[in-house]
Amino acid sequence: MSIQEIKLKDLNAKEFIEEKAKEISSLVGSGAAINALSGGVDSSAVTMLGHKALGNRLKTYFINNGIMREGEPEKIVAMFEKLGVHVEVIDAQEQFFKALKGITDPEEKREAITQAFYKDVFGKLVRQSNAKYLLQGTILTDVDETVAGIKRQHNVFEQLGIDPQTTFGYKIIEPLVQLRKDGVRKVAEAAGLPKSIFNRMPFPGPALAARVIGEVTPEKIKIVRMATVIVEEELATSGAFQYMAILHNDRVTGMRDGKREFGLQMEIRCWDSIDARQAHPTKLSYETLIKLANRMTFEVPGVVSVTYNIASKPPSTMEAI
Amino acid sequence: MSIQEIKLKDLNAKEFIEEKAKEISSLVGSGAAINALSGGVDSSAVTMLGHKALGNRLKTYFINNGIMREGEPEKIVAMFEKLGVHVEVIDAQEQFFKALKGITDPEEKREAITQAFYKDVFGKLVRQSNAKYLLQGTILTDVDETVAGIKRQHNVFEQLGIDPQTTFGYKIIEPLVQLRKDGVRKVAEAAGLPKSIFNRMPFPGPALAARVIGEVTPEKIKIVRMATVIVEEELATSGAFQYMAILHNDRVTGMRDGKREFGLQMEIRCWDSIDARQAHPTKLSYETLIKLANRMTFEVPGVVSVTYNIASKPPSTMEAI
């Protein structure tokens, strides 16, 4: 199964939306479909397409995994409600933190989050629903590194705890699979999503868990969430490709009220990049850097040290883990 | 026993040297004295005073603890030989690394180094020598936070494994105890030491062990030693108060030859300060920062990420641990 790429210059977003809505409609027929919305541009665009095609027969879930940014579930749900799309929030915080407990290896962390999402939480919702159609925001870039469609979709079923050999009728619909990120952004805009979504900064799948070095706990997520608010406020107008706060596991010495405090270090990364394949640290002014450091040390409990990344990718990567 | 401070403005360095040399001479008489030279300004000045007073009856040891900067023992010894002062190097690297093995807590690390120095290495040299006089580079600032002289000197004997109650005759001579750092620098210059010594940047007692977060091993010291060479080369003309490279224990993701590498992070700190009580990050140019990062990632094995400290003291401290 080869996928026909639609390049940005050949994309008529309005026509694409009409066409994909028709396709979804004819595939699902009078049945029901289900999808998970993360608030990223891909899953947001798919939600709009699915809703256009199926209306209330598309059931959209937002899984609150506890490792999102400040106010994220509320903001996303409210934004979709305004567009007439109802989203149901599933509070799965405990399940995710339980899955992450004791894990320090980044790859194992990622795997634990994937497993918790597919098997424990979303898989259960899919199996319990009467929806046999699953809408997914896969884009061509996601496919590039894996083998052809059928094998890939088989993997998704496996992750969901659904055996396609014994459980018949489940189908995955991937309306964005011919597009790259730039195409998805254009479709998202044409579908009526606000700029805060269609122009959204890349954010990793493991969310704030990717911004905590070492074991992920509710306390550490709370700290890196506060730091993320500060970074996003201060760097919103920086024009950078991506920026982030990373909570280190190493402890460093600080001084508070004349007393030694073995405290936390927060690293700030802010990247200039065209396509994320190469990236360089943004040349932020010292005024901005000092302000960031001051806010981190005075507003985020326990932080006594703040650093700014000065390495490039490669050999660095955008995210720390 | 109260100590009469000699302020910089009241210090006649030439006269001070003559006077202290006479004092040492009359105290030691026809006996022998011993001292440990670290290469810092205090112990270097004491070595010059002691040598002026006693000539070859002062035995000066340089303890190579394995956690010094690149070429340090050789440089210091050669420099003193040029001034006519013979220094004996003791290779104690194994003892120090053995003492540091498995220790991650910064305070325990410091204590292990102190113990290894006094009890195992220098204490043994003192006990084996026929020298009953010990020359020490204590300065007034060192005394400030401890109790009066007698108690303090008793502690030194204890650390050396010498019980002054049963072992008679040991005496500690502290010729610099009336001076602050600025006075010692003036004396060091007047005593003929080169600028590289009398104007030396502050360097911590635990040496490079203070620049390794987590357990100190020969491998990690080797890495941070290479990074220290780079920082000292690139920032020599920065005019900063102090600069350093710190090897983190946390691992971060990098990319080399298209492959993921879970590698090392090096932090650079460069401080502007008057008296080390308050300090701010030096506003290094991005040209310098990028050059530092490039050299770190390409010259120091395993380093995939480099950061620059942007927090101030307080709540940060100059050293990381």
Whether B314 has its CB under 8 Å from any CB of chain A: the answer is yes
Whether B92 has its CB under 8 Å from any CB of chain A: the answer is no
DSSP state of B201: P
Query: Is the pTM here over 0.95, yes or no?
Result: no
The upper half-sphere exposure of residue B97, i.e. CA atoms within 13 Å in the direction of its Cβ, equals 14
Q: Which two tokens stand for residue B163?
A: 């019980």
Nearest to A307 among B256, B292, B309 (CB): B309
Say how far apart CA B53 and CA B25 lie, in whole Å: 5
Best residue of B104, B216, B235, B250 to probe chain A, by most A CBs closer than 10 Å? B250
| pLDDT value, residue A148 | 47
CB pairs under 8 A between A and B: 137
Search chain B and give the residue with CA nearest A314. Answer: B255
Say how far apart CA A173 and CA A160 lie, in whole Å: 15
Best residue of B305, B319, B321 to probe chain A, by most A CBs closer than 10 Å? B305
Whether B200 has its CB under 8 Å from any CB of chain A: the answer is no
Alpha-carbon dihedral sign for residues B298, A235, A89, A247: positive
Whether B313 has its CB under 8 Å from any CB of chain A: the answer is yes
* Block residue for tokens 């020298």: B131
Residue B165 has pLDDT above 90, yes or no: no
* Block residue for tokens 């040209």: B287
The CA-atom distances, in angstroms, between A53 and each of A25, A42, A125 are 5, 17, 21
A 254-293 → B contacts, CB under 8 A = 254-256, 260-263, 267-268, 280-281, 283, 286, 289-290, 292-293
The DSSP code sequence of A3-15 is -----GGG--HHH
Residue B161 has pLDDT above 80, yes or no: no
Nearest to A310 among B256, B289, B304 (CB): B289
pLDDT, tens digit only, all 321 positions of chain A: 578 999 999 999 999 999 999 999 999 999 999 999 999 999 999 999 999 999 999 999 999 999 999 999 999 999 999 999 999 999 999 999 999 999 999 889 999 998 999 888 998 998 899 899 999 998 888 777 555 455 556 667 777 777 755 666 688 899 999 999 999 999 999 999 999 999 998 899 899 999 999 999 999 999 999 999 999 999 999 999 999 999 999 999 999 888 888 999 999 999 999 888 899 999 999 999 999 999 999 999 999 999 999 999 999 999 998
Cα-flanking dihedrals φ and ψ of residue A79, to 5°?
A: -65, -40
Say how far apart CA A49 and CA A190 lie, in whole Å: 11
Q: Are B115 and B103 in contact (CB under 8 A)?
A: no
Contacts of A267 in chain B (CB under 8 A): 307
* Alpha-helical runs (H) found in B191-304: 195-198, 218-235, 286-299
Q: Which residues have CB under 8 Å from A78's CB, separation 6+?
A: none
The CA-atom distances, in angstroms, between A101 and each of A237, A247, B285 are 36, 17, 42
Strand pairing class (B33-36; B133-135): parallel
What is this model's ipTM? 0.90
> What is the length of chain A?
321
